[in-house]
Amino acid sequence: MKLKYILIILSVLAIMLTYSCKSDKNNNQEYQTDGIEEINFEEDDVTSEPNGMGTGMLILLIVSAIVLGPGLILFFYYFVPIGLWYEAWLSGVKVSWLTLIVMRWQRVPQDLILKTLIKSENAGLHIGARDLSDHYLAEVDIEKVVNTLIRATNAGLEIPLNDLASQYLAKVDVEKVIHAQITAKNADLEIPLKTLASHYLAQVDVETVVDALITAHNSGYDEMTLNDLKEHFLSNGDVKKVVNAFISARKAELPNFTFKDIAAIDLAGIDVVKAIEASITPRVVETDGVTGIAKNGVQLTMKLKITLRAHIKTIIGGASEETVLARVNESLASEIGSSETHHHILKSPYELADRVEQKNLGFGTAFEILSIDVSDIQVGRDIGAELAIERAKANAEMAKADVIRADEKVRKAMAAAFTDGNLSIHDFHNIMNTEADTKMRDSIGNSAMKNKSKQKNEDDENENHD
């Protein structure tokens, strides 16, 4: 609104000046036409012309001073921030008034441009006002970009303002990218700005990836590249864990593996740190009690301690620890069953453990069996004796059955003899009496044997007490 008022005032002033000039010219022409004779003879009329012209000019100058003075003051007050311009001039920033007027016309904040120029100049950066104005019009956060550029310059990075502004317009977080680049430079790693910017646009956490690369570089292992870490990050892998596991494996001098092998373990959903620890430091696992029966029928229950070491190459796709334990349990039961007697196992348990170990039970698994040792042996039931007793009982029952069948045959024969008249009642009674006498004698004999055995036991006990 102020600018409109100023333009109106200047227009009115121009009209007044034009009218005043025309009026003075007409007056001069009339004076020259009507008073030609008087010019030659009257000296006062000759001197009156310049006096008239001088009065008009004086009025014109006074009116111009009155009107143009405040107008010029308002004009410079609106278009040129004198105080801030002078502050910039003292800091060595040279900005012309015309440039400031153009900024005002383009609605570029002059204070932001001048303050940013002062800050950059004090930091040793020489940036043009027009460049900053153009970047502002392109919707660049010039304050953020210049602050980032100052930080990069102080860190020894040579990055043009246009490059950094272009990355900002490409939706790159220039602060994060420059921070990663400075961190890499401090670790003697040169990573171009465009490389980090492309990784950022690919949704990579550049700070995390660069930190992981620095960790590997400082540990003396340059096998992995920034691109390897980028690919692993984009595959939803844990970059930090993978690098730490890789360094641990290298320091432990584990053979035959690469960074991709370690990364593949992580991507398989396996805790890569624990997997590498298992490869470096063997684990000792104990089986549950495995029960077997030796050939002599004695039952044995044994426990084994197995020392396992993981293989990096076979962790993925290899059988698990449970598979190894199942194979060992099966082999142990088989070895117990193939032993002639349980006494031999009790005498030399290590021989049985050696036979189990020599069977290469870790083949096709993620582990190598380093050793198998017996940790516990318990002697159980004598299955052979129990089976013999049960067999004897079965034989006795079979014998009783045979007696019953024979008695049945005798009774049938006697019934047939009665029927045929070959056996009389008197003969039958004699047979029954004889059988009764036999049973009585057997009963008396068994009772006497029991009493005699009991007496003997009592005598033995008395002798022991004596």
* Domain co-membership, 275 together with 335: no
CA distances from 235 to 195, 241, 446 (A): 19, 14, 90
Q: Is residue 101 part of a domain?
A: no
For residues 269 and 176, membership in a common domain is answered with yes
Answer whether 246's CB lies under 8 Å from 258's CB.
Answer: no
Q: What is the pLDDT of residue 44?
A: 43
The pLDDT value given to residue 85 = 80
266 and 315: one domain?
A: no
- The pLDDT, as a whole number, for residue 71 is 57
User: Quick one: 288 and 339 in the same domain?
Assistant: yes
Closest CA to 284 of 336, 324, 314, 244: 324
Collapsing DSSP states into helix, strand and coil, what is residue 10?
helix
Number of domains observed in the structure of the chain: 4
Q: What is the largest CA-CA distance in the chain?
A: 217
Q: How many CB atoms lie within 10 A of CB 459?
A: 10
Domain boundary (260, 281, 302) is at 281
Residue 53: its pLDDT value, please? 46
Do 291 and 342 fall into the same domain? yes
| Position 60 in a domain | yes
Residues 198 and 226 in one domain: yes
Say if 378 falls within a structural domain: yes
Q: Is 104 inside any structural domain?
A: no
Amino acid 253: pLDDT: 86
Q: Nearest CA to 147 among 130, 135, 164?
A: 164
Tokens for 411?
A: 């009774």
In a domain? residue 220 = yes
Identify which of 208, 150, 215, 163 has the alpha carbon closest to the alpha carbon of residue 189: 215
Tell whether 267 and 296 lie within a shared domain: no
Q: Which of 79, 114, 147 lies at the terminal end of a domain, its last residue?
A: 79
Q: How far apart are CA 381 and CA 414, in angstroms?
A: 50
Q: What is the DSSP letter of 340?
A: S
Among 254, 281, 308, residue at a domain's last position: 281
pLDDT of residue 389: 74
| Cβ proximity of 273 and 237 under 8 Å | no
> Do both 243 and 308 map to the same domain?
no
pLDDT of residue 172: 93
Q: Are residues 273 and 177 in the same domain?
A: yes
CATH number of the domain within which 351 lies: 3.30.479.30
Is the residue at 108 inside a domain?
Answer: no
- Tell me if 328 is assigned to some domain: yes
Q: What is the pLDDT along the chain (466 residues), one digit of tens a residue?
A: 445 455 555 555 555 555 555 444 444 444 344 443 443 434 444 344 444 445 655 666 665 556 555 655 666 666 677 777 878 888 888 888 788 888 888 888 888 888 888 888 888 888 888 889 999 999 999 999 999 999 999 988 889 999 999 999 999 999 999 999 999 999 999 999 999 999 999 999 999 999 999 999 998 888 889 999 999 999 999 999 999 999 998 898 888 888 888 999 899 888 888 888 888 888 888 888 888 888 878 888 888 888 888 888 777 777 777 888 888 888 888 888 888 887 788 888 888 888 888 888 877 777 888 888 888 888 877 776 667 777 777 777 787 777 777 777 777 776 777 677 666 666 666 766 776 777 677 677 666 666 666 666 666 566 555 5
**pLDDT at residue 206 in the model:** 94
Does residue 259 sit in the same domain as residue 289? no
Q: Which of 299, 302, 289, 291 is nearest to 386 (CA)?
A: 299
pLDDT for position 227 = 92
From residue 280, how far is each of 217, 240, 323, 373, 410 by CA, in Å?
22, 19, 21, 21, 84
Structure-token pair, residue 419: 């029927």
Same structural domain, 16 and 50: yes
Domain span at residue 62 reads: 2-79
Tell me, yes or no, whether 269 and 185 share the same domain: yes
In a domain, 392, yes or no: no
What is the distance between the alpha carbons of residues 291 and 159, in angstroms, rounded to a whole number?
75
